[in-house]
A = this chain, B = another copy of it.
Amino acid sequence: MKSYIINSNNQIELIEKEIPSIGNQQVLLKMYATSLNFRDLLTVEGSYGGKGSTGTIPLSDGVGVIEKIGSEVKKFQIGERVCPTFMPGWIDGTYTKEKARSALGAGEVQGVLSEYIAIDESALVKVPEYLSNEEAATLPCAAVTAWFSLFVSHQLQPGHIVLLLGTGGVSIFALQLAKTAGATVIITSSNDEKLAQAKKLGADFIINYSKTPDWDEEVLRLTNQNGVDIVVEVGGANTLNKSLNAVKYSGTVSMIGVLTGKESNVTTGKILSKKIKVEGVYVGSRKMFEDMNLAFQQNQIRPQIDKVFSFLEAPQAFEYLKSGKHFGKVVVSISERGQ
């Protein structure tokens, strides 16, 4: 079979490999499609943290069909279409150090940019049938992250105001989920076209942060100086202070991103005086993925795909993601079969 691995030049490289054998509680998945996250860029470039990833198959997100099952597999059958979960070790319950280490496509854990993968049945979720393979491939990391942030770390209610920073994968899924849940959405971008697209998807207010660098003050103006209920903080270290300003008293800031850095000067005094909850969100459990799928199914939410690359064009997909031109997800198709 063909797989990509991360080579010692911090690039992905196509290689030939044996189709992996499976354990008793595992399945063999023929991959249909995969999608890219900003984290995958960092991993290939060697700046994601944790152990080096040289020799590892990259990417966490994908969808495939079960071609073989181990002797003790109980819940799944050959022919079913499934996504692997981002962290196979995190089924449900409390997040721990051990569960974190199971994340696919980084360190020594093989990812999904491969024609076949072997994976535990406990790390699989069925995906709603109405989704195409390309759409289904976008769910495991970005969509689950948005779900965790809005509905687990925060308890989003109709009427809440959500602030989204930029129009990357997590933000666009958060936009769609927040609108599905009856919330108000404010979204920022430096690009008017992307803001127009966000508006089409339901965003209530848009802010071009190039033209309005004090976007936090604009958020306060839009919210009658109260601030928002939750910020889905994908920016990271260098947007955090503005997020702390834009969120209301007793509000939530979901720490998700490292786009603008992993450390920065933070006005911690504001966390205290406004009683803000700043909580880390790192993708999520299989349970969250399953819950989210019910929301997708019921509301027929369609993932926003910017561009689909072929398996051989995977390196270009990485380049494209890096360019920041995308709105929504960048997908790599692997197998023609399927829907």
Contacts and interface: CB of A to CB of B under 8 A. Distances in A.
A11 interface: no
B92 A269 contact: no
Interface string A250-274: 1000011110011111111111111
A12 B137 CA distance: 54
Contact of A158 (B97, B155, B180, B240): B180
A299 interface: yes
B96 A93 contact: no
Contact of A157 (B72, B268, B291): B291
Contacts of A292: 159
Contact of A263 (B261, B262, B269, B296): B269
A125 interface: no
Interface string A123-137: 000000000000000
A97 B273 CA distance: 9
How many copies of this kind of chain does the complex include? Answer: 4
Contact of A265 (B263, B272, B291): B263
B95 A93 contact: no
A280 B287 contact: no
A14 interface: no
Interface stretch (A53-61, A181-189, A190-198, A207-215): A181-189
A263 B263 CA distance: 13
A295 interface: yes
Given A157-B151, A295-B158, A237 B255 contact: no
B180 A250 contact: no
Given A158-B181, A276-B279, A278-B278, A264 B266 contact: yes
Interface in A130-162: 151, 155-160
A282 interface: yes
A169 interface: no
Chain B CB count within 10 A is highest, among A155, A177, A294, for: A294
Interface in A58-114: 72, 91-97, 100
A9 interface: no
Contact of A278 (B92, B262, B271): B271
Contacts of A182: 180-182, 295, 298-299
B155 A177 contact: no
Contact of A299 (B158, B263, B287, B296): B158
Nearest to A150: B157
A272 B282 contact: yes
Interface string A11-46: 000000000000111000000000000000000000
Interface of A: 23-25, 49, 72, 91-97, 100, 151, 155-160, 177, 180-184, 226, 236-237, 240, 248-250, 255-258, 261-282, 285, 287, 291-299
Given A93-B287, A182-B299, 13 more contacts: A25-B25, A49-B269, A97-B248, A97-B274, A100-B249, A157-B295, A158-B177, A158-B181, A159-B299, A182-B298, A271-B278, A272-B280, A279-B279
10 contacts: A92-B93, A151-B155, A240-B266, A240-B268, A255-B272, A262-B268, A263-B266, A274-B280, A277-B278, A277-B280
